[in-house]
Structure 1
């Protein structure tokens, strides 16, 4: 194996700012890791796109990003992209790729009632990949699914300093709790990386619910795959790159800076 450049970054990819929830967990275990965070704002939202659109778009974009930034590892911090295109991205790239999938396993491990929920995008919750996760990790359990696209926009608004309408979070939770067996639901997997950014608001809308997501597991996986590699002695300015207009992310600068992303560029 060739030596890894100490300054080679970790590349995070999402349709928007949802992957910041994953980046936050990784920062705790690898505080000096150079970071490039790519947001496909030109393609947001992914949840309303077809499988064919995502299959064509994501590998091509990541190919361009890998060529430009030469990362040591790529993390697709987007459940929708992973449930549809993860295997194709891995086949196309010559660097390790870590995926993000709905946290069915930790939800199943922590439920007391055997009824677990999944909040995600419409594209994510309909995937056969989710069926396979349920079969593998929650056999015999009831999995309730609800598409909550409003939460994506609510998370984006929150990080722009705006106050989302509280009814958005009530509707999202009622989409699960009003389903058959919803009264027994005790754990909900947040199946979109945007959703942990508004977990406090979801908890306020449904105080009895426990929420799980995959960010801690992803951080452990990245740590494992980069074991033995050298990192800079000090943290550097992180790069945020968007496929959209720089004007579209002006309102996010304060939030991005709080995550260490101080260089804002366009692809």
Structure 2
């Protein structure tokens, strides 16, 4: 029986997580569900986010017969995991900002966290900093603009580099040497971020750690990938043709509206 892995995000940012998971489990079946109708999550009311995500993911798990769920969104992970784990019977893996490894890696003990405003201001984020980076200065930078720029890149649309540089300017001027990408959209812009910030700033995200955790849980479940099918689903009525082209290049055999079809599994 092949492993069915459901990866969930508000947009295409979760593809940065899926890419690392696929390296570990290339023959698993992947269902990628992105709730682009409510993008970005970092600006939503917390209760609305919890209820909406749990309902959407629960339905997707049933339709896809998922063996494991990866919530590839920092904003969602900091809020919905307890409710989601109470609802589902399959393992759930969330994404948290890579504060702990960043604190170990930084040479000048000056870190930055670049995330959506919701993640930056959430109490859970402060708890991570207090627990793992007490000996560091941690500057927090909230941006929803970069989410839209990452979405534009994946849709093969022009990038708003002026806005990108405006967001990054205070980061570059701060003197930090390690920047945590606390939104899964942001690794999509890694080359643009690195070009502007320079080689003196190390970019860090959670994708490899998440992939390792998924690999461990799949092995515990006794699953083995045999077919390697991939499908993508979105929650709006339509998406840009450029994004469909990009998703096809990522190996998705179908890219369709979640409301209009049932998911076929590879089990």
Q: Give your verdict on TM over 0.5.
A: yes
- Quick check: 1:83–1:129 contact (8 Å CA) kept in 2? yes
Separation of aligned partners in 2, 1:63 and 1:230: 21
Deviations 1:40-59 (A, max 9, x none): 01111111112122122111
Instruction: Indicate if the aligned counterparts of 1:50 and 1:123 stay in contact, CA closer than 8 A.
Output: no
Counterpart residue number, 1:260: 251
- Name the counterpart of 1:125: 120
Once residues 70 and 81 of structure 2 are traced to their aligned partners in structure 1, the CA distance between those partners, rounded to angstroms, is 10
Give yes or no for the alignment of 1:137 onto 2:129. no
- Structure 2 unaligned segments of length 5 or more: list them: 259-267
Kept in 2, the 8 Å contact 1:169–1:205? The answer is: no
Contact 2:3–2:225 (CA under 8 A) maintained in structure 1: no
- Cα deviation code 1:72-124 (max 9, x no counterpart): 00000000001111111111111100000111112111100111000000111
1:234: how far off? 3.9
4+ aligned runs moved over 4 Å, structure 1: none
Give the TM-score taking structure 1 as reference length. Answer: 0.92
Higher alpha-carbon deviation: 66-75 or 132-141: 132-141
The answer for the alignment partner of 1:199 in structure 2 is 190
Map 1:142-153; keep pairs closer than 5 Å. Answer: 142-153=137-148
Structure whose residues are more often helix by fraction? 2
Q: CA–CA distance in 2 between the matches of 1:170 and 1:57? A: 33
CA drift at 1:8: 4.3
CA contact (8 A) 1:170 1:206 kept: no
Residues 52 and 232 (structure 1 numbering): CA distance in 2 closer, same or farther, change over 3 Å?
closer
Q: How many residue pairs end up in the alignment?
A: 256
Residue 54 (1) aligns with residue 49 (2):
yes
Matches within 5 A, 1:175-254: 175-178=170-173, 182-183=174-175, 185-207=176-198, 208-227=200-219, 229-236=222-229, 238-245=230-237, 247-254=238-245
TM-score by length of 2: 0.92
Q: Does 1:95 align with 2:90?
A: yes
**Aligned position for 1:69:** 64
C-alpha distance in 2 between matches for 1:71 and 1:265:
18
Structure 1 unmatched runs, 5+: 1-5
Encode CA deviations 1:149-176: one digit per residue, 9 max, x unaligned: 1111111111111231222332222233
Tell me the equivalent position of 1:3.
none
CA shift for structure 1 position 230: 3.2
SS in structure 1 at match of 2:38? coil
Is 1:35 matched up with 2:30? yes
